[in-house]
Structure formats: C-alpha cells, structure tokens
Chains A and B, each alone.
Chain A
Amino acid sequence: MNFEPKILGILCKWCSYAGADLCGTSRKKYPPNIRIVRVMCSGRVEPTFILKAFEKGADGVLICGCHPGDCHYAEGNYKTVRRFPLLKKMLSQLGIEDERVRLEWVSASEGERFASIVSEMTEQIRRLGPFSRNNGGGNG
C-alpha cells in the first residue's frame, strides 16, 4: 500500500536543527514525510507535544537534541534523557509501538545521520501502518 506516514520532528535549535540545515545545504535527500518544529532545547519538549501530535494525526514523532554533554544549555538534554524513557513506558502501556516515538542525538555536523534516521523511521512507520485510536471493537 502507498501509505505516507506523517512524522513530526521536534528539533533543538542549536545542534539538531542546524544538523538538518546542513543536511539541506549538502543536498542529502530524505523522505519528505517529516515536518520539523524548532525548539530552543530538547529539554523544552513537553510530553504533551508528543501526545498532541498523535491526537492531531501524526503517525510518529522524532525528537532530536544535542549529544549528551554538548547541550548549549549545559544540561537541558539530560532532562530529556529523564523524561523520555518514562513517557515511552507509558506510551507502550497505551499500545503505541516503540518505533513511533524516537529520541535521537544529532549534532550540527551530523546532517548525514539525520537523513538516515528520518529515512529509517519513515520506513518503519510505513510498515506499521497509520496511527489510529483503535479501540479494538465496533462501538463508542
């Protein structure tokens, strides 16, 4: 089937967004399924953003931040490191597959890496099929 996943990307301004920019300037191609939103730091990402994305029809969410230790704000991404696993644990409890939500470290120099992450994730989600609030039954 030719299902085109919608993937939300939330990227930190300093490393990952710049990495995605580099990806562009060096004309690396990756699937257009990802839509990028910029935040100052991956530590700004509220779990609400990810849930909101699914509510609004995203099929996957990719969070990118500076590598641990490289955070522009010294430790912002470590807060992400704390929140993300707990959020993932809850999402899996709610039946959301692991592949749909990813956290990756992408530095400003890793345009290549960004492209491959996006391509890989797009394929994985294409295989999973669309996200839907499936209640497994017929009614309500």
Chain B
Amino acid sequence: MSEPRIGVYVCHCGSNIAGIVDVEEVTKFAQGLEGVIVARDYKFMCSDPGQEIIKKDIQELGLNRIVVASCSPTLHEATFRRVCQEAGINPYLFEMANIREHCSWVTEDKEKATEKAKALVSAAVRRVIYQEPLETREVPVNPNTLVVGGGIAGVQAALKIADSGHKVYLVERSPSIGGHMAQLDKTFPTLDCSACILTPKMSLVGSHPYIELMTYSEVEEVSGYVGSFKVKIRKKARYVDEDKCTGCGICQTKCPFKVDSEFEVGMGKRKAIYTPFPQAVPNIPVIDREHCAYFLKGTCRACEKFCEVKAIDFEQVDKVVEIEVGAIIVATGFNLFDPTPIYQYGYKRLDNVITSLEFERLVNSAGPTGGNIVLKDGSTPRSIAIIHCVGSRDKNYHEYCSNVCCMYSLKFSHLIKEKTDAKIYQLYIDMRCFGKGYEEFYDRLSEEGVYFIRGKVSEVTDQITSEEGKLTILAEDTLLDSVIKLPVDMVILSCGLEPQLDADKVTRLFNISRSADGFFLERHPKLDPVATMNDGIFVAGCCQGPKDIPHAVAQASAAAAEALAMISRGKVEIEAATAVVNEELCSGCRICNALCPYNAIDFDEEKKVSRINEAVCKGCGVCVAACPSSAITGKHFTTKQIVAEIEGVLV
C-alpha cells in the first residue's frame, strides 16, 4: 500500500454546516492529522468548482486518498467517487464524513458540534488510510428471460419482451395460460368483456416466435445468479403429443368420464381428458390421471381410438428440461380467499351463499348457466346481498385490504341489474374506489339504485325465513347505528386475494423474500417496486400484492422493462464490496456456511475451506462478523477499516 497522501475537504454547504460548525477550525484540525497532505474548506464541495478543487489537488499534490466532510453519503458519495475516478483515483479510496445530517443539523451547541465534526473527520481520515482500491465487476447477461406464471401479468411481461425480439420462456403450471382473468366476466370500471381483451393476447403468446410456452409445467430448481441463471423445469406428462394434436376436441367429446371443472369452480363439469376452457392456449388437452378410466382401471382408451392424428400417448412421462436465462420474472398470481372458515357466513353450508369467483362464472355467458343468474333451485333471485371484505381487513384472516373487492362488487351490482330486477344490497366497511374512473363508477351505481349499507355482517342465516327471502342477513348499520335484518335470496361473498398457498415454496426456489402479509417483497416499496432482493429476479402482478388488472399489467410491463434494460446493456454490475475467504486462514469450521441469505457460501470438500461466490454475495458482512478465525474479509468494510474508524470517532 503506497504511503497515504490524503486530501480533506470540509464543506460549508452554505450556512447549513458553516452556520453551526466552525469549518475553519475543523480544517485546521484535519490538516494536523496523520497522512493528511492538504485540508481545505469550501462553500459547496459538490458544486463544479468544488469538485475542481479536488481534481486539481489530486493532480498537483499527488493525493491518493480523499475525504470530504459534508452531507450524507447517500446524497453525494456517488458524486465524489466519480470525481476521484475522473482524477485517476480508485473511487473506493474515497471516504465521506457526514457533518451535516449527523452533526450541524442535529446540534445547536456550536462548540460541541465543531468537536463532533472533528471526530467524524478524524474517523474518516483514519479509515481511508486502510481503504483499498476495488474494481466494480460486470458479468454478461444471457438475453433469454424466464417468466413464471401465465396469468395476465405473465402474459403481458412475456409479450413485451418477446416483441423486442428476445427469447422468453413462459412457464404455467395449469394446462392453459390465462389465469384468473380468464374466469372473469366483465372488467371494471369500463365493463369490457374480460375474454375479449385477454384471448387475443393469449393467442399471440401461443403463436409468438420468441415465446417458448411451457404449460402444465413447473420450475423445479434455480441456480446461478443475475445474468446467468440455470433453471430446471418439469414438463408434466400430458399424455397428448403436443406436436401431433390439432386441438379438434373429439377426444373430449368421446371421453365418457365427467369431473368437476376447476375453471368453473365446481359449478360445471369437464371430461377426464380436457382443456380447461374453450379458448385455452395452447388448445391441447391433458389427461387427468386421477380420473381417467384407463389409468384407474386399465380399460377405455376411447380418446385414443377416436384421435385421428394418434396424438394420445399413454406412455408419456414427465420431462425435466434445463434452460439458461439472464433474468426471471415471477408472476405467480394469487389465491382467492376461501370463506368456509367464516362459519357464520354459511358458505358451503347454506344454499345460495356463493363466492365472488363463483358469481363471475354464474354471470358469464360462457359459464355453466349460460349467464343466467339463478338460485340453486333454478329460480331467479329477487334480492341479493354482496358482503364486502370477506377475509380482508380482518384481524382473524388478512389485515390488508384486497384492493379489488369494492370495485368488483360494484361491477356485480351492475351485471345483476342488467340481467335481473333483484334488489341489491352492498354491505361494506368503507368504499375504496381510488383508481381512474372508479369513483365515477361508484356514483353511477348509486344512481342505479343499489342499496349501500355500511356495516359488517355478523351472520347469514336460513333460520329466519320470510316472504322476501330464504336467507337473512344480520348486520349492524353503522350509519343508522342500528342492528338490521335483511331477508335475501342470494349472498355473494366478496372474497379477498391472498398469496398462493405454495408461495413460501416459491420464495425458497427463487431465494426472494415475503413481506408480513405473505406476498413477495419488492426491493423498495416506492422506488424499486418490481425488483427483489435477489438481483435479476423481478416480480409482477398479484404475487407481489393484491391489485387490479391495470396495475398488474403496468407492473408486468415495468418488470419487462427491467429485464430488457439488462438485456440491452448486455452486462450487469455486481457488488464490488463483497466478502472473500482467505484460504490461508480458513480452518473449514463451516460456521459461516448456513449464515448467507443468498447461499453464496459453499464448502470445498477437497481443500476443506469455505468459499464465497462473489457474483452472488451482496456484501452484507454477516459471515465476516461470524468468522471465528477472522478469515473472511468484507471488502470496503474490513475489520481494520471499521476499527480504525471507531478509534477515530473516539479521539
């Protein structure tokens, strides 16, 4: 390490610092510190002339380390590092003393503030002596991208990237893409038909030259790191040859076995060989082993007999394919809250108490009833209650607001109005109509003569029957401040959105984290809403939190943009301040092995030492602090540097 030649620059920041701290004295003090060649103070160090002073000194005085005492490093560390670099000093040989946010702005006593400023400067000076040049490292980015989840978010992200001419692997675990949106009837607030806007996108995906669609498939393993992930994907056996199948559908008509349809949420039937819904993409059926007579009894094979192209293949087995991608977009969607546990609402217990998704199918012209809103007995309801916040904003289930329920509930009342003249009661806690055109939609519905009752429903019962209805709602009207009894024929539970039931498995798979509500955690709630803690892995749609279609689509496009940014740059910078194991000192005790949140540490069984994969390391230093041999160095935050800094502040 060359003899330190340090330049110290004390910033006045106008009067922000100089008003409290005696900058001249601090400068004089700095001048006297070991290794300091020059110390100056200036009005605004971050200004161009300020920066010029530093550059000039570096060149003329041959400085090799720089300390600037000014504001918080979060503001100008980057600035001054750049200055150093431009003047030919490695940016990591720069250190900043925060004498504004941590000193002049929080202290009134000028004398003590000046003392503190001195301490902070001496700390920075001592620290910088031990700092070492670091190279910011770059790794190449594989131009292919993996999108996990074929709902609207996944579809949107895939298309955006593919349209730019880069390969996308879209993995969906069910037989078809489309996700929840495919099950919806109309979409609020514009009321355009969900299928009409979704299916074109779906078929685009199906036929896109840059999209390799893998339905009925699941991600099994992810290794590698940003820019070059290796992903293993299991393609579950369809028992139908995708290349041969023409999607004629004859097999489905011939199949003798009927099963409850998942797509119709149990309200309709499908065959043992099936495509979830008519517009499925790909339009290739799968055989559901659990219910196929051949797999159960060893006979039948009707589908096989009638398939002209001989696409049926009972011998098919799962295939595991390995792909390499530079970025991954996780869009695994949500799970609709199951209201069965809320006993008092009677779901699954009382006829004509249904969930919002069931209603979507009920009202859908392609649905089981052809779009007729009917009760179990086939009659048309005369009154319908829609209960909001089922499973949301509820300490017993989910504390968060599911964002979409108010709006789809309003949508429901409109659809009901269109098709029946039933009385409609909206039982809500608060109406949340925050989006574009949402409030207007709310107004419109109020005019359509929907009853809005503010209050939480305490019970839905069939014990109190009356002329007007088979069911009775017991609730408190908090506006009238009275307990009310509502006789109705049908109750729709506006269920909330919750994380997929296997979300925890997914977090482990992709090494990302979840927030308290169980949805995937974005790197920053405001400024980095699609990135995750794991570089190169992005989130989009409801897996990150409940949201409506426009927001899901927007986030998906954002995620696509993030991936494309990486791809078009061709390389990514990775953390320079990583941790490294000194193999001369590592005894192979393996204390550190389990500590890394990024699994960056592995053990070399040959040499019996632990090793850190610097490409994966984020430099948190947890392993450094744990190493009993001090054999791990946390670059730019070495024990030497930090101890020197501690000694410095305590002068």
Contacts and interface: CB of A to CB of B under 8 A. Distances in A.
Interface of A: 4, 6, 8, 17-18, 20-21, 23-25, 27-30, 32, 35-41, 43-46, 48-49, 52-53, 56-58, 69, 72-76, 79, 83, 115
B620 to A, nearest CB: 4
A72 B533 contact: yes
Contacts of B105: 24-25, 27
Given A41-B620, A46-B625, A21 B646 contact: no
Contacts of B115: 32
22 contacts: A4-B112, A20-B102, A27-B105, A32-B106, A32-B115, A39-B642, A40-B619, A40-B620, A40-B637, A41-B621, A44-B620, A44-B624, A48-B643, A56-B646, A57-B650, A69-B515, A73-B620, A74-B513, A75-B597, A76-B597, A79-B622, A79-B626
A85 B645 CA distance: 25
B561 interface: no
Interface-centre pick from A28, A41, A52, A69 (highest chain B CB count, 10 A): A41
B516 interface: yes
Contacts of B620: 40-41, 43-44, 72-73, 76
B90 interface: no
Interface in B575-629: 577, 595, 597-598, 618-622, 624-626
Nearest to A22: B101
B625 A35 contact: no
Interface residues on B, range: 35 or more
B622 A53 contact: no
A21 B72 contact: yes
A83 B626 CA distance: 9
Q: Is the interface of A mostly helix, strand, loop or mixed?
A: mixed
A8 B106 contact: no
Contacts of B619: 40
A21 B622 contact: no
Contacts of B74: 17-18, 21
A25 B73 contact: no
A115 B106 contact: yes
A32 B112 contact: yes
B468 interface: no
Interface-centre pick from B74, B105, B622 (highest chain A CB count, 10 A): B622
A21 B102 contact: yes
A137 to B, nearest CB: 26
Task: Give 8 closest A-B pairs by Cβ, nearest first.
Answer: A24-B101, A44-B621, A35-B649, A73-B620, A43-B622, A24-B105, A74-B597, A41-B620
A74 B515 CA distance: 10
B573 to A, nearest CB: 17
Contacts of A72: 533, 620
A56 B643 CA distance: 10
Contacts of A17: 72, 74
A69 B650 contact: no
Contacts of B595: 79
Nearest to A6: B650
A73 B597 contact: yes
B621 A35 contact: no
Given A21-B74, A24-B105, A49 B621 contact: no
B103 A32 contact: yes
B11 to A, nearest CB: 14
A48 B625 CA distance: 9
